[in-house]
Amino acid sequence: MPGRASGARHQTGSNRFKRRVVRYGHFDDEGREYVITRPDTPLPWINYLGTEAYFGIISNTAGGYSFYRDARLRRLSRYRYNNAPLDMGGRYVYLRDDDSGEFWSPSWQPTQNELEDYSCRHGLGYSIICSTYKGIRGETTYFVPLGENLEVWRIRVTNERKTQALVSLFDSIEFCLWEAQEDSTNFQRNYSTGQVEVEDGVIYHKTEYRERRDHFAFFACSASLAGFDTQRDSFLGPYRGWDRPIVVEKGKATDSVAHGWQPMGCHHVKLELAPGETKEVIVLLGYQENPKNDKFDPPGSQTINKKRVKPIIARYLQPAAVEQAFTDLRDYWTRTLGILQVRTDNEHVDRMVNIWNAYQCMVTFNMSRSASLYESGIGRGMGFRDSNQDLLGFVHMVPARARERILDIAATQLPNGGAYHQYQPLTKRGNNDVGSGFNDDPAWLVLGVAAYLKETGDSPILDEPVPYDNATGTETPLYEHLQRAIQYTLDRLGPHGLPLIGRADWNDCLNLNCFSETPGESFQTTENKEGGVAESVFIGGLFVLAAQELAGLAKLRGDNAEANRSLAASEQMTDVVQKAGWDGAWFRRAYDYFGKVVGSRECAEGQIFIEPQGMCIMAGIGLENGMAQRSLASVRERLATPHGIVLNQPAYTYYHLELGEISTYPEGYKENAGIFCHTNPWLMIAEAMVGNGERALDYYLRINPSAREEISEIHRCEPYVYAQMIAGKDAPTPGEAKNSWLTGTAAWNFVAVSQWILGIRAAHDGLRIDPSLPAGWGGFSAMRRFRGARYNITVHKAPGSAGRVTRLTVDGRETPGNLIPLPTRPGQSFDVEAFIQ
Ligand code: GLC
Ligand code: GLC
């Protein structure tokens, strides 16, 4: 990659927050790792293992769990959410000094000994937890090899003493009885179903394998065993916790075989270590399926047929195979992140764009909203709108999987153009419990497909036959799905001509037709009150944007009739929004059930909302008549805080029956005046669109987790990934983040900074270079792979200037405007220079 154009480096924004700096770790940008250097982080700081089907979450103290594809239906190991102490259940390893009888966990939890040199290196798809205790060093590398349904724990124990050491090692995992909800509720049954087999030191968990399950888990160890345990009670001892298992205390496994109760896995290994010697032990936890008619060996017995799994186990118990798999994983991430790399004047921009934000986008794509420390893996399926937005952040990295995702999502669409709000990842079917009627949902599909086509040029996808509601025989080309999505809004307009909101729009908590008075009733699924006319200005803006995108796709197909129809509809809606949706100084939010305005200076609470400001401006509404600029000034005056832009002001101070869940949250949290980070990038994009790169970057840095690292004590969540929410100014703890990792914030921030601030944007007809930079920057450089070509981009900017690109050259040739035309053959490489005077 070419060097940075010019300008100051390592601007940390230290003056942004006036606070004592307490560090829990630091970024290692070269190694693409965040290195946590004390175990007692304000909250567990987690990472994800797995890239395809087998996944896990892992905290900096080895807490977490694993699952195959679906965190609810195929959970392999147990984790105790909301436990005290926090973060209980994990991939715990114990070491015991067999001379003194002392024992500890190299990952700090669960024994919490005072460790020397503790570190946890969270990398891309792996974590390495390491520490020393009284001269014995324990280091465990946890990762999932590409293409395999297993995880590796590579444990290295080193004797740093001057004398020989006799050390016992115990690994441990508590098995989940597969269905996570049942596992944590149905004890009258569960306590009697658990079953295992132990063969050649491998522990096989096979609860329900005797009946309808064709899958089992395995827990294997490369060393020869001094013993094992598979019954939790034998391992821990009655009334004991994971902090002092009796087996570890005594230094002797009991060879228990689980029958009912709580099956677990533990291998006991004895190590003799000369001074300076290191020994490596490999542990595998994995998942395996067998064909229904070949489950047992010998046939007719009740013994698991292990002929498929044994070669896999044998392979990964070899150090060389593990080393190779780890290298392959590192290479996979180098390739994946290599699609876009930037060098700018700001280290927080660089490390988020080049490493962490991109990584979070991939994790969000894989997990949707299922499994994190805040999503229990039980509750939510894949969101229709969420998945379409997640796509915006990863489509350039794995376009083939984006294609598959689009077709899956579209197949759950309803014949009337509407959508199930959620679908299940295993079955890929719409979720009837949550139902449909969130009237913004379908429009996001159009944005997702448009982004995919701009990135790939794969126009044949529009002709793919896709069913509605997964019903065979209902297939139409994907293109028609998009047309029906647009028509869905047009078929549901309210008295002002604005789109009816249905159950809710993007803001799931603005339930204008709900009127719920029953405690505990779900705001998402309660039957709406009949006869409402609640309308959404936000969907108005979203519609304008989506209709323009559909017009763009129609033009690609030469369907001029559709292009004209969509553009006309978009103009018509723009008009309506500017009339019924404009409050004088900002865009209104909605009209409620009774036709009363929401998000207006006429309201006592909730006068202004962030979402319509962002969405309407992104759709281009008000750019030419000053409304956009006026709206942005209002955001700055009323919503912006040092920790980010809050969702609404003033916060709702009591429950408004006619508004719904938004007013159940105490002031400053979540949708009630929290900094709902997902929405902030919309304002960054809007600022960039009106040419205010300075403010766009400023907003960006306020919520950028790396830029907030120095206030970790306030922020509390991981400094390497975005959180869904940061407490707003009305909360008792402004700046405190919650719900890290699985949030649309990841995709939208990636879009805002890479496509609008840095301005590198895929288009149907080429790659656009349209930065909107802060005055102080001297330009930047970037490498982008796009449609099979490589672009080495240098942006030169006269310091002090804040304009747009005035001149563009490609391989030295002048190119009009700011668009680099599509490459003509694969493998091309271009040197691009853009100038901002
Ligand atoms: C959550 C939901 C998302 C919704 C947002 C705002 O993040 O997953 O669908 O748009 O909250 O309510
Ligand atoms: C709650 C949350 C919101 C989320 C919704 C759907 O309403 O506040 O953020 O979108 O639940 O599960």
* Cβ-contact 749, 353 below 8 angstroms: no
State the pTM of this model: 0.96
Distances from the Cα of 536 to the Cα of 6, 325, 401, 587, angstroms = 46, 50, 33, 11
Q: How does strand 535-536 pair with strand 476-477?
A: unpaired
Q: Which two tokens stand for residue 658?
A: 């006619």
Report the alpha-carbon distance of residue 401 to residue 69 in Å, rounded: 15
Digit-coded pLDDT (tens) for 60-69: 999 999 999 9
Q: Is the pLDDT of residue 17 over 80?
A: no
The DSSP call for residue 741 is S
pLDDT in tens, 95-104: 999 999 999 9
Q: Tell me the mean pLDDT in the region 615-635.
A: 98
Cα 181 to the center of its chain, rounded Å: 22
DSSP letter for each residue of 155-216: EEEEE-SSS-EEEEEEEEEEEEEE-HHHHTT-HHHHTTT-BEEEETTEEEE-TTTTTT--EE
User: In what order do the strands lie in the sheet containing 760-763?
Assistant: 760-763, 766-769, 819-821
541-598 pLDDT tens trace: 999 999 999 999 999 999 999 999 999 999 999 999 999 999 999 999 999 999 999 9
Pocket test for ligand 2, best of 374, 375, 509, 725 (most atoms within 8 A of CB): 509
**Distances from the Cα of 801 to the Cαs of 29, 439, 769, 808, 832, in angstroms?**
30, 43, 17, 17, 20
**Which of 671, 677, 678, 740 best tests ligand 2's pocket when mutated (most atoms within 8 Å of CB)?**
671
CB 477 within 8 A of CB 464: yes
Rounded distance between C-alpha atoms, residue 728 and residue 667, angstroms: 8
Type of residue found at 519: P
The per-residue pLDDT for range 197-256, each reduced to its tens digit, is 999 999 999 999 999 999 999 999 999 999 999 999 999 999 999 999 999 999 999 999
Structure tokens at 111: 């024994």
Indicate which residue's Cα is closest to atom 6 of ligand 2.
Answer: 508
Please tell me the residue having the least CA distance from ligand 1 atom 10. 506
Asked if residues 197 and 207 have their Cβ atoms less than 8 Å apart, the reply is no
Whether residue 432 has pLDDT greater than 90: no
User: Tokens at residue 458, please?
Assistant: 């794969």
Neighbouring C-beta atoms of residue 72, cutoff 10 Å: 23
Cα 209 to Cα 224, 748, 807: the distances in Å are: 27, 43, 67
Of 656, 696, 690, the closest CA to residue 672 belongs to: 656
Q: What is the pLDDT of residue 9?
A: 39
AA identity, residue 73 = L
CA dist 274 and 83 (Å) reads 40
Question: Which ligand has the shortest distance to the CA of 385?
Answer: 1
Q: How far is CA 819 from CA 728, 773, 807, in A?
A: 40, 18, 11
Q: What is the 3-state secondary structure (H, E, C) of 71-118?
A: CCCCEEECCECCCCCCCECECEEEEEECCCCCEECCCCCCCCCCCEEE
Mean pLDDT of the chain: 96
Both tokens assigned to 797? 């900017």
- Amino acid 153: pLDDT: 99
Amino acid identity, residue 603?
C
Q: Supply 493's token pair.
A: 């307009």
Contact 589, 611 (CB under 8 A): yes
Whether the ω angle into residue 816 lies within 30 degrees of 0, i.e. cis, is: no
Taking residues 117-140, what's their average pLDDT?
98
Task: Report how far Cα 415 is from the mean position of its chain's Cα atoms.
Answer: 30
Residues 6 or more apart whose CB falls under 8 angstroms from that of 114 comprise none
d(CA 656, ligand 2 centre) in Å: 17
Three-state secondary structure readout of 818-833: CEEECCCCCCCEEEEE
Q: Which two tokens stand for residue 511?
A: 């339930």
Active site residues: 508
Ligand 2 centroid to Cα of residue 162, in Å, is 57
Helix (H, G, I), strand (E, B) or coil at 457: coil
Distance CA 367, CA 365 (A): 6
At 34, give phi and psi (nearest 5°): -105, 125
Q: Which residues line ligand 1 (CB under 6 A)?
A: 369, 383, 385-386, 506-509, 671, 724, 743
Decide if 206 contacts 223 (C-beta within 8 A): no
Give the model confidence (pLDDT) of 699-755 as tens digits.
999 999 999 999 999 999 999 999 999 999 999 999 999 999 999 999 999 999 999
524 with 434: CB under 8 angstroms?
yes
For 827, other C-beta atoms within 10 Å of its C-beta total 8
Amino acid identity, position 25: G
Measure CA of the first residue to CA of the last residue in the chain; give whole Å.
24
pLDDT at 358 over 90: yes
Cα three-residue angle 637-643-647, rounded to 5 degrees? 60
For residue 202, which phi and psi values (nearest 5 degrees)? -90, 130
Q: What is the SS3 string spanning 265-320?
A: EEEEEEEEECCCCEEEEEEEEEEEECCHHHCECCCCCCCECCCCHHHHHHHHCCHH
Q: What was the pLDDT predicted at 634? A: 99
* Cα distance between residue 773 and residue 797, in whole Å: 9
The residues, any chain, with a CB within 8 Å of residue 274's CB and separated by 6 or more, are 159, 164
Q: Minimum-distance ligand to the CA of 662?
A: 2
- What is the rounded distance in angstroms from the CA atom of residue 257 to the CA atom of residue 267? 13
Residue 332: Cβ within 10 Å count: 14
Q: How high is the pLDDT of residue 20?
A: 64
Ligand 2 center–CA 509 separation, angstroms = 6
The ligand with the least distance to the CA atom of 504 is 1
| 315 closest CA partner among 324, 327, 302, 305 | 324
Specify which residues 785 forms β-bridges with.
790
- The whole-number pLDDT of residue 11 equals 40
Residues 6+ apart with CB under 8 A from 528: 437, 502, 503, 513, 514
Q: Which atom of ligand 2 is nearest to the CA of 380?
A: 12
Instruction: Tell me the C-alpha distance between 90 and 151, whole Å.
Output: 13
What band does 13 get if pLDDT is binned at 50, 70 and 90?
very low
**Of the bound ligands, which one is closest to the alpha carbon of residue 434?**
2
Q: Which of 508, 514, 741 to mutate to test the pocket of ligand 1 (most atoms within 8 A of CB)?
A: 508
Q: How many percent of the chain have pLDDT more than 70? A: 97
- With a CB cutoff of 8 Å and minimum separation 6, the contacts of 738 are 374, 717, 723, 724, 725, 726, 727
Length of the chain counted residue by residue: 837
Residue with CA closest to ligand 1 atom 7: 743
The HSE-up count of residue 148 (CA atoms within 13 Å, CB side) is: 24
* pLDDT category of residue 487 using cuts at 50, 70 and 90: very high
Distance 34 CA to ligand 2 centre (A): 30
Q: How far is CA 538 from the centre of its chain?
A: 24
pLDDT (average), residues 297-302: 98
Rounded Cα gap, residues 794 and 238, in angstroms = 66
Q: How do residues 181-201 score in pLDDT, each as one tens digit?
A: 999 999 999 999 999 999 999
Non-local CB neighbours of 811 within 8 Å, separated by 6+ positions: 830, 831
Q: Measured between alpha carbons, how far is 613 from 587 in angstroms, rounded to an integer?
A: 6
CA of 507 to the centre of ligand 1 (A): 6
User: Where does the pLDDT of residue 16 fall: very low under 50, low under 70, confident under 90, or very high at 90 and above?
Assistant: low
Pocket of ligand 2 (CB under 6 A): 380, 508-509, 524, 661, 670-671
Residue 281 pLDDT grade (very low, low, confident, very high; cuts 50, 70, 90): very high
Burial class of 691 by CB neighbour count within 10 A (0 to 12, 13 to 18, 19+): middle
The reported pLDDT for the residue numbered 169 is 99
Select from 193, 187, 172, 192 the least CA-distant residue to 246.
172
Ligand 2, atom 11, lies closest to the CA of 508
Tokens of 315: 């392979």
Q: How far apart are CA 125 and CA 32, in angstroms?
A: 11
Judged against a pLDDT cut of 90, whether residue 434 lies above it is answered with no
